[in-house]
Amino acid sequence: MNGTGLLKYAGALVALAICSACGAALQPAQDGTAVAPSSALGARYVGKTLWVNGRPVTAARMGESVPPRFATLFPDVIPGRNREYIFNSYGSYASIFNYPKSTQQVGTLNGAGGQGCTNVLYGYGSGIVWNVAGATQITEYNVRKNTAIKTLSVSFGFPSSCAMDTSGDLAIGNLTGGQVAVFQNATGTPTVYSTPMDEEFFDGYDNQGNLFADGFTGNRSGFALVELPKGSTTFETIATSNAVEFPGSVQWDGKYLTVTDQDTSETYRYTVSGTKATLKSTVALSGADDCAQTWIVKGLIYCGDAGNNGAEVYSYPAGGSPKAILTGNFVTPLGVTAAEKVRK
C-alpha cells in the first residue's frame, strides 16, 4: 500500500488496535440493574442496554476478544453495482463491500457508525444510503461518489433506528426515550411521536406505509412491538404469537413483517392483523452471535454481527449456515444496509 493509502486508513487501524484489546464477553446482570465490568472499549450494561464509550448501542452484547479481520484495501476497482455498508461503532466508519462480486472490503466511509437504511423497503436501495450516527449526524450519502448529500438532526440525544417508506418519509427512533421522529420527505423538522416503549431499538415500514418499531417497555421488563398505522398519530402495541427475547431489526421482506431476535439469532416472519402479529415461519441464522442489525434483499439476509465482530450473509428465507462471511476491518458492527451504485 502506498503512503497515501496508509494515511487514509491509519485511523481505522488505531481503532482496530483498541478493539483487539477488548476483554471477555459482557452479559447483563441477573437483576437487570447492575453494571458489568468495563472493557478496553469502555463497555458496560445499564439494565439490558449496552453502553460503549459513553453511548447506548442497539447491540445486545459484545463478543469475546476477537482479532480484527484485516483486508488489504485498494481503490474500488472491482466492477459491480451492489454496495453493502457494515456500520461500525459510533464515530468510527462503515466498511463497504460489493458482494456477491467479492467478500473482501472495497472501501471505507469515514465518520459513520450506528445503523443505516435506504430508500426501499427491502432490497438494494437506489443510489443513496442513510446513516444514523448521532443526534446531528443523520446523514444521507451518495453511493456512487461516497460523499454526504445532506444531514438532519433530532432533539433527543441517542437516536437508534432508521427506516424509510416508499413516499420518502424517514423515521428515526430514540434509544433512551422510546420516541420516534418522522421527517416528511426526509427533510426539515420532524414530527416526534411517543410510543408505549421506554427504549426504541429498530423500526421499519411495511408496504402499506404502516410504521413498526421494537424495543423494551415497562422499565426494561419485556420486549415490545408497536405500530403507527398510516394516517394515525398514535402508536399501538402489537402482540406477537411467540416470545421475542431481545429486540432486533424490523423490516418488510416483500411478503411478511420480520423481527430479528438478537438473543436467538432468528428472524421471525409475521402476518399482522389489527393488534396481533402471527408467526408464519422462522429463519435461523446459524453461526451468528449477535446480529445487531440485519438487512434483507431478494434471496439474502445480511447480518452486522457485533458478537463475532464481523458480518455474515445468509440465504433468505432458508437461513441455516452462512452463505458467505465478509472479510474486512470491523469495530463492533452495529448496522448493515445495502444499496446500488447508481450513476446519475
Q: What is the pLDDT of residue 220?
A: 66
Lowest mean pLDDT among 62-76, 103-117, 187-201: 62-76
Q: What is the pLDDT of residue 64?
A: 56
Q: What is the pLDDT of residue 61?
A: 77
Q: What is the pLDDT of residue 93?
A: 95
For the chain, the residue count is 344
DSSP letters for 40-91: TT-EEEETTEEEETTEEES-S---S-----------S-S--SEEEEEE-STT
Architecture of the domain spanning 82-340: 6 Propeller (2.120)
DSSP letters for 138-205: EEEEETTTTEEEEEE--SSS-EEEEEE-TT--EEEEETTT--EEEEGGG-SSPEEE--S-SEEEEEEE
Helix (H, G, I), strand (E, B) or coil at 94: strand
Calculate the average pLDDT of the chain: 85
> Model confidence over 129-180: pLDDT tens digits?
999 999 999 999 999 999 999 999 999 989 999 999 999 999 999 999 999 9
Report, as an integer, the average pLDDT of 200-208.
97
User: How do the domains of the chain map onto residue ranges?
Assistant: 3-57, 82-340
Q: What is the pLDDT of residue 79?
A: 55
What gap in Å lies between CA 200 and CA 339, rounded to an integer?
25
